[in-house]
Chains A and B, each alone.
Chain A
């Protein structure tokens, strides 16, 4: 692999950008070292993982500071480095990395949340015998995810994307002794693969259209300048432009990874993995990779939109996101597994992010991604703490009253829950979700999603209240006694809880620092934005919806402590609604009856064909050769072996005969000699007669 650095003269990248690759490389190298460690080197493994990610976090913060500095100074905020990896003919396969506001924010979020979850895992996985393997996979994941974030080449992004998928598979199936975990790992890998195939088609198409794999390359990347403009008139089939078709293909990859509607089925099952994995990969970072991907290729999705209008691909993104948001929230209402509720909530929130991207642009979706990463990691780690404290119990009906036994977990979980519900003003989730609702309200082109999203917000508040009532209120219904988790687990909870509240401050309408940073314009403080009528109306609506959800939940479930065997309150009042929701709206069954059944049938056909047709031919050939071999064997045994054996036997017999002559009696020898001499003499005399 010949890596030749190509720098454009005049704009030499800074030292920070040149060494940006260190951020993903460090955890990956650490993971490689851990793979060689013995399982008993626990301290070293966790030290390596946490140490390498700490350095990555430090470097990420430096990179972030650099971008913020550039932005404040009003200069270019996007710096790239690219190099040629392969060259064939006139086409080159370029790899490279980019530092821009989007990457910088994601870098800090991933490494920071990742680091907290690493620290938490030291406590959570303390009794697991495969501790070292766990940290090896976790570290590899962190490296790959950071790689996705900084990629400037869609191919490098795809590589890291697949690596992330691989670690997801390995970590879901971490307790592979459990058949359900092994099945969930397979399901995750196969389901995301469906999306990835379309994603890869999109990559190939984009490469063939633009001739470059780089996103940004001083005006000749695939997302800038003429290359992007040329995608618009190109024909893409089905009445789409090439840009729209490629955008939709790439979105299919994001649908798989981010658990959007047709392909969301793997994400709830992924909760079979250890809880820190659920928090890091299946809530905070990896599933957000799909949202990040759409944000990264946003120029491609957006091109061709009239001012205030939208494009076909963005419309699809917005609709799929909104429908997913409501769909998953509905299912979450009727689940009893603490992690499964959070998983459906994640699917639902990812739908919000997609809707935000489709309706309001990069900043709206990304802001929800960042705030969600913090409060959802907090919720999952809190759930892990609850599970840990309740002796590995995950059924919320067998918990209860934990606000007394686990006060720290309760406090932090409560903050996370209110942030997720979008409780007004003090919680970050309110501001990010409000941004999405506002964008949906103001979108001139797409009208429906606003109502879906508001309904989703109501459901979110409802199911989270139900969960919290079951887990923390009422009286204890489990076995044994619950206990608070160790400090190493609660400290990350407290830090995340702080950010779950504080992060809202950087994205309020009055001071949209986050949006300005991502969109590369100056951030201005404008307190009057709070007083605008539109904003106040929206604030009122969303607050009303949240309070309605909270109240409804409290009314149905608050402090009731039903017996674990008793039917749910909602089940009693509306069984016709409860049953389909509990059964996840039968989507798994639908897939089982259609796709899985079809493939099973097809596999049986292929199996029959293999056995009967190809197997028959192979058997025939084998039989013929068997016959030929038998013939050869007979020839060998009766002819070659027989003649050889006979020769040996005769030689042996002759030897036995001659051996009898050697009797040991010297006179016998002499007699033979005498007879021989007489015979010789007789011959001589006879032959020499005249």
Chain B
């Protein structure tokens, strides 16, 4: 396969692995903090893809991929702050961060 000849394939595989680990973390961990960490991992996998596609894409001289990654990191930071704030608020309200016990997000 010519795919393995290109370094892009390796980056994408790493990114996919990273996304899968993040997704697994977000899905299976019960602690809300660990879920947030999983989500961060998935975001970073996306960032890695941005960079890889930019670097091995048709216009590596334009800094578009880098700009996307930086924006994404900033947004991820804000999102993490909001998510942690919510977790603290939920903890104060219910006395737990176990997601199994918090099932009021319905109806």
Contacts and interface: CB of A to CB of B under 8 A. Distances in A.
Contacts of B99: 665-667
Nearest to B38: A670
Interface string B78-107: 000000000000000000000110111111
A670 B100 contact: no
B35 interface: yes
A665 B23 contact: no
Interface in A319-339: none
B26 A664 contact: no
B41 to A, nearest CB: 14
A676 to B, nearest CB: 13
A671 interface: yes
Nearest to A677: B23
Shortest Cβ-Cβ A-B pairs, 5 listed: A664-B103, A664-B106, A662-B106, A664-B105, A665-B103
B106 A670 contact: no
A663 B23 contact: no
Interface in A463-520: none
Interface residues of A, number: 11
Interface string B29-41: 0000001000000
B74 interface: no
18 contacts: A659-B107, A662-B106, A662-B107, A663-B106, A664-B103, A664-B104, A664-B106, A664-B107, A665-B99, A665-B102, A665-B105, A666-B102, A666-B105, A667-B27, A669-B105, A670-B27, A671-B27, A674-B27
A105 B107 CA distance: 99
A688 to B, nearest CB: 17
B23 A674 contact: yes
Interface of A: 659, 662-667, 669-671, 674
Contacts of B23: 674
Contact of A670 (B26, B102, B107): B26
Interface string B5-38: 0000000000000000001001100000001000
Contacts of A665: 99-100, 102-103, 105
Contacts of B26: 667, 670
Interface of B: 23, 26-27, 35, 99-100, 102-107
Nearest to A678: B23
Nearest to B101: A665
Nearest to B32: A666
Contacts of B102: 664-666
A424 B99 CA distance: 131
Nearest to B104: A664
A173 B105 CA distance: 84
A290 to B, nearest CB: 93
A669 B27 CA distance: 10
A663 B105 CA distance: 8
A667 B103 contact: no
Contacts of B103: 663-665
Given A674-B23, A674-B27, A667 B35 contact: yes
Contacts of A659: 107
A61 B35 CA distance: 119
Nearest to B35: A667
A667 B104 CA distance: 12
A160 B102 CA distance: 96
Contacts of B100: 665
A372 to B, nearest CB: 100
Given A664-B104, A669-B105, 12 more contacts: A659-B107, A663-B103, A663-B106, A664-B102, A665-B100, A665-B103, A667-B26, A667-B35, A667-B99, A670-B26, A674-B23, A674-B27
Contacts of B104: 664
A670 B100 CA distance: 13
Contacts of A664: 102-107
A664 B106 CA distance: 5
A664 B26 CA distance: 16
A281 B71 CA distance: 116
Nearest to B23: A674
Nearest to B106: A664
Nearest to A669: B105
Nearest to B28: A667
A659 B27 CA distance: 21
Contacts of A670: 26-27
A669 B35 CA distance: 13
A669 B99 CA distance: 12
A168 B106 CA distance: 86
B44 to A, nearest CB: 17
Contacts of A662: 106-107
A554 B88 CA distance: 130
A676 B107 CA distance: 22
A1 B13 CA distance: 109
B84 to A, nearest CB: 15
A678 B103 CA distance: 25
A399 B104 CA distance: 102
Most buried by A among B35, B104, B106: B106
A346 to B, nearest CB: 95
A662 B103 CA distance: 10
Nearest to A661: B106
B83 to A, nearest CB: 11
A681 B35 CA distance: 23
B32 to A, nearest CB: 9
A666 to B, nearest CB: 6
Nearest to B30: A667
Contacts of B27: 667, 670-671, 674
Contacts of B35: 667
B91 to A, nearest CB: 15
A667 B100 CA distance: 8
